[in-house]
Each structure stands twice: as structure tokens, then as C-alpha cells.
Amino acid sequence: MEVRREKKHACGTICLKYLLFLFNVLFWLAGGAVLAVGVWTLVEKSDYISLLSSSFYATSAYILIAAGVIVIVTGIIGCCATLNEMKSLLIVYLILLLCIFLLEIIAGVLAYINYQELDEELKQNLKVTMQQKYQQPGEESITQAVDKLHQEFKCCGSHNFSDWSDSVWIQTAENERLVPDSCCKTPGELCGRRDHPSNIYRVEGGCIMKLEEFLLSQLYILGAVGIGIAFLQLLGMMFTCCLYRNLKEDPY
């Protein structure tokens, strides 16, 4: 009877070990995905940082990178604790999972609050930034960001193409353009002299609306990834508690 009970415990422990190991592999992959998104955000979309007065966008990317690294390290600790059946390391792993879970909740709330502020900031500052800083000395990053914004989102101006009529650069005597060349559907030297809908992104809408949609879609993606990781963490914490209890009861 005692032998049967020991075999039952051993079988349960082995099953839990493999379940927790599988969880850690998934958790490690999720951490890699978060890290990749953070790096992609910083590398591919870094031009837009210069259009924002706050550091929210850059900070978000760095937080994602840090979170990805922490999740990967936590997953490695979980694998070591599981395979070696180290109860002390399992406790460390459980605490790390709990801390990450709580940080995700806090980060989610802060991201929602900051998005509202960022949305207001975009509406207030993007038009002024375009009109006052585009093609001005020392503002190369702004110029590059605006040109990329026009082409990537197929838009012209903050609210519409007419915003450029008040631009410092457009109003200079030697400038023959009505809009920047990057507003053109097929960009070319001095193509901005014609503001006909066949030539520029005139009827497609302003860039601020497109940028808002992009930022919101990024927030939804991050939210979905966060919920997925949080669900995995709850499973991981449950498996960890069960394995710890079984190891404690197991005479071997």
C-alpha cells in the first residue's frame, strides 16, 4: 500500500515537472516575443519619437525590452528549478512570477492613462511641430520623421494638406512648393508644387488620425500579449505550487 502511494506521488511529480517545463518553454518564447517587439519599436519606429515632447514612446520600448529579458531569465530559472527539483529555486521562481504578474497589471493601467495624455499631446503639438520645425536648421530628425510619416501612412499635414500653408519653410520666398515632396504619391524633386488630389495625399486624411490609429493598434497588441503572458503566469504559479508540495511530500 505504501509502495503504491509512493509510485503515485512519483508519477504525479514527473507529470508536474514536464507540465512546468513545457510552461517555461512557452514563457521563454513569450519573453523572446516581447523583447523582439521592444527592439522593433525602438529601431523601426524611433523616428516618431522626435515628434513627441514626452518620452512615453521611447520609455515604452525600453520597458518592453527589459520585460522581455526578465521573462527570459525567469523562464531559465524555472527550467533549472524544475529539472533539478530544487525547492528553494522553485520559491524564487514563484516570487518572480508573482512580481512580474503584479508589474504587468501596474504597467497596463499606466499605459492606458499615458495613452490618453499622449493622444492629447499629439493633437496639440503635431501641427505646430510640423509648421515650425520642418526643414529648419538643426531639426533634421523632425524633417526625417515627418517625411516618413507622410509616406508610411499615406497622409499630408497634421489634420490635412492645408496645414502646410502656414509652414515657416513653405512661406520662404525661394520655396516653390505648396506641400513637402513627401506628400506626393510618387515623391520626386519639386513634386510638391502641385497640390491636386491626383498628385498628393489630399483626400486620404491627416497624419494625426493615422498616427492615433497606429498607436492604438500597438496598445491593443501589447494588451493582447500581456493578457496571454498573464494567463501563462497563472498556470505557471499553479503548477509551481503543486510541484513544490509534491516534492515536499515525496520521500525521495
Query: For 64-105, what is each residue's pLDDT tens digit?
Result: 788 788 888 888 887 887 777 777 888 888 888 888 777 777
Q: Which helix (H) or strand (E) holds 109?
A: helix 87-133
**For the purposes of burial, counting CB atoms within 10 Å of the CB of 233, is it exposed (0-12), middle (13-18) or buried (19 or more)?**
buried
pLDDT at 251: 43
- Residue-wise pLDDT for 145-188, tens only, equals 899 989 989 999 888 898 898 899 988 757 788 899 999 999 88
- 84 by Cβ neighbours in 10 Å (0-12 / 13-18 / 19+) ranks as exposed
pTM for the model: 0.66
Q: How many other C-beta atoms can be found within 10 angstroms of the C-beta atom of residue 66?
A: 13
* Per-residue confidence (pLDDT) for residue 86, from 0 to 100: 77
Q: What is the pLDDT of residue 10?
A: 60
Percent with pLDDT over 70 in the chain: 81
Hey, how many other C-beta atoms are within 10 angstroms of the C-beta on 88?
8
Helix/strand/coil for 167: coil
Arithmetic mean of pLDDT over the chain:
78
